[in-house]
Amino acid sequence: MIRLVAAEWLKLRTLKSFWICAGTALVLTPTAAALSGLLAAAVLQTVIIVLAAVVPGSEYATGTIRTTFLATPRRIAVMTAKALVVTVVAAVLGAVCLMLAYAVVTPVDVRHGTVVGRSAVDIGYCLLVALFAFAVTLAVKHTASAVSLALSAVLLVRLVLMVVSMMFGADPSTAFWNL
């Protein structure tokens, strides 16, 4: 299993889209936090959805998934290794980006409690979003379709939660769904 994870990490590191997504997240998340604290998580979740969809989607698009399965016929083990790499990358990228965003926002806005407690919830959310986008990509086997489906589902859930909480009189700026 360790060799599979190392191979998947190597595949991910060699993709240009990985570095573009990571750079975009590192630049846009703190920038969005400076403009509006609410935009930072939306930008980060979008980048993480794209990144999580690229991991299996790039292999399906180029046909190299066949070579991967020839080298390792245990498909469950391969997909588990891919999911583990996606999870670790999403956690690290989410932690770094959110810490940068909180460093920008915290001197101005500290009403959400401690930064550590808040970031743990946000990193957990990033992991769920990444694994959801990964699963959608495995189902549709196409990166662009998976990104649009996963992003639509995540944004639809946020919209429904916003409407429901506003119906019950919650303040939108402090609601629990406002990551």
- Using one digit for the tens of pLDDT, what is the confidence trace for 32-90? 777 776 677 778 888 899 988 888 888 888 888 888 888 888 889 888 998 999 999 99
Of 68-72, 140-144, 164-168, the range with the lowest mean pLDDT is: 164-168
114 pLDDT above the threshold of 60: no
Residues with Cβ within 8 Å of 44's Cβ and at least 6 positions away in sequence, in order, are: 25, 29, 94, 97, 98, 101, 126
119 pLDDT above the threshold of 90: no
- Helix 37-62 vs helix 75-105: angle between axes, to the nearest 10 degrees? 160
Residue matched to tokens 């379709």: 145
pLDDT at site 176: 47
Residues with Cβ within 8 Å of 111's Cβ and at least 6 positions away in sequence, in order, are: 174
pLDDT at site 84: 93
131 pLDDT above the threshold of 70: yes
129 pLDDT above the threshold of 80: yes
| Mean pLDDT in residue range 148-177 | 73
Residue matched to tokens 């299993």: 1
pLDDT at site 61: 85
Q: Which of 7-16, 63-72, 84-93, 140-149 has the highest mean pLDDT?
A: 84-93
Long-range contacts of 84-87 (CB under 8 A, 24+ apart): 84/5, 84/8, 85/5, 85/8, 85/9, 85/12, 85/55, 86/51, 86/52, 86/55, 86/130, 86/131, 86/134, 87/127, 87/130, 87/131
pLDDT at site 117: 61
pLDDT at site 110: 53
Mean pLDDT of the chain: 81
